[in-house]
Amino acid sequence: MPSSPPLLFDTRQLSRQQARAAPKLPEHRLLYDIAAASLCERLAEIRRTFSRTLVLGDVFGVLGGTLGQEKNNCGEILSPKAADERVPELDAPVDAVLAFMNLHTINDVPGYLRQCAQRLCPDGLFIAVCLGGESFTELRRAFLEADSQLYGRHVPRVAPMLDMRAAGGLLQRAGFALPMVDRETLTFSYSSLFALGRELRFMGLGNCLKERSRHGMGKNVLASAQTLYPQDTNGFFPLTLELVTLTAWTPASSQPQPLARGSARHSLAQTLENL
C-alpha cells in the first residue's frame, strides 16, 4: 500500500479560522475578489458551454457570488460542502470543476487533483486558483530570523505554498491533459506587522500548520520580526502574494495528440543543414 502523505495542515484548525473570519470577510475580501475575477476571466476565454460545474473550496461564497453577478458558461453550478479534503461524490460526472483558493491548504494535493479528475467527464475542464510558493516571502524570512535569534531554531509559523514549477507535473500525474499554469504577483502594504497579521486572520489565512506552537506568538517574537521585516520607502510593510492559476482537461480523443515517437519525416540534423 502507498504511504499516506505527511499531514502538513490541521484541517480542523483551518475550519475554525475560516468560521471566525467569515463575519469580518466583507471588509477584507480584496484578495478573494481578485482571485475570483482571475478565475472568471480564464473561464470566459473558453468558448464552450458547460452543462454542470462543480465548485470546490469556496467557503466564503466569493466565487459563487461573482459567477452569479455576470453571464457565464457554467450551466448548473454544484457547490456541495466537502468533507475535509475529499471531493464530494456525484450522481454523474460534471463538465467542469473549479477549485477556488483551497489547493494551498490541501495536505495531499496529488490525491485531491486525482479526485477532481475522476469527477469530470472526458474533455472536462479543471481550473484552480490558489496561493503559490512565492507568497509570504517577507513574513517567512522575518520570522525565521527572529526565531533563530531568540530560540536558535525554526518555529513553524508560515506554511509553504504550491510551487508553480511543480504544478504542471502534478496535473499530469493526476491524469489531466493539456496543463497550463500561470501566475500573478500581488503586493499589499500595511502600517505595521500587527496590522498585517490582523488582516490575515480576518481573511482566514492564519497559521494552521499541524506542527505550529500551541502557546501562541510571544510579543518578543512579533517585536523582533517587525524590526527585521523589510519596509518600503514610505515605511510600510509590504506583503507579496503569488496567485497561481492552473488549467487542464481530462483526456479525450478529440484533443490534440502528440506525434508518435519516430514519426517525424525530417531529422533535426537535416533541418539544421538547411538553415
Average pLDDT, the chain: 90
Task: Tell me how far apart the alpha carbons of residues 48 and 257 are, in angstroms, rounded to a whole number.
Answer: 20
- Give the confidence band of 69 by pLDDT, cuts at 50, 70, 90: confident
Q: Which of 230, 211, 227 is nearest to 219 (CA)?
A: 227
Q: List own/partner pairs for 6-11 with CB under 8 A and 24 or more apart.
A: 6/107, 7/107, 7/210, 8/107, 8/159, 8/160, 8/209, 8/210, 9/105, 9/106, 9/107, 9/159, 9/208, 9/209, 9/210, 10/208, 10/209, 10/210, 10/212, 11/84, 11/85, 11/107, 11/208
pTM of the model: 0.89
* pLDDT of 269 strictly over 90: no
Q: Which amino acid is at 267?
A: S
pLDDT tens digits, residue range 140-191? 999 999 999 998 898 899 998 989 889 999 999 999 999 999 999 999 999 9
- Give the confidence band of 273 by pLDDT, cuts at 50, 70, 90: low
Task: Tell me how far apart the alpha carbons of residues 56 and 264 are, in angstroms, rounded to a whole number.
Answer: 42
* pLDDT of 111 strictly over 80: yes
- Strand, coil or helix: 132: strand
Cβ density class 121-134: b for 16+ within 10 Å, e for less: bebbbbbbbbbbbb
* pLDDT of 54 strictly over 90: yes
Collect all residues with Cβ–Cβ distance below 8 Å to 10 and sequence separation of at least 6. Answer: 208, 209, 210, 212
Backbone angles phi, psi at 144, to 5 degrees: -60, -45
Task: Tell me how far apart the alpha carbons of residues 120 and 97 are, in angstroms, rounded to a whole number.
Answer: 7
* pLDDT of 271 strictly over 60: no
* pLDDT of 266 strictly over 80: no
Residue ranges of domains in the chain, CATH in brackets? 11-251 (3.40.50.150)
The pLDDT, as a whole number, for residue 55 is: 97
pLDDT tens digits, residue range 202-230? 999 999 999 988 777 778 999 999 999 99
pLDDT tens digits, residue range 8-53? 999 999 999 999 999 999 999 999 999 999 999 999 999 899 999 9
The pLDDT, as a whole number, for residue 257 is: 66
Q: For 114-118, what is the mean pLDDT?
A: 97
- Give the confidence band of 121 by pLDDT, cuts at 50, 70, 90: very high
Task: Tell me how far apart the alpha carbons of residues 49 and 173 are, in angstroms, rounded to a whole number.
Answer: 27
- Residues 98, 127: contact at Cβ < 8 Å? yes
The position carrying cell 487533483 is 113
Distance of CA 174 to the CA centre of its chain: 16
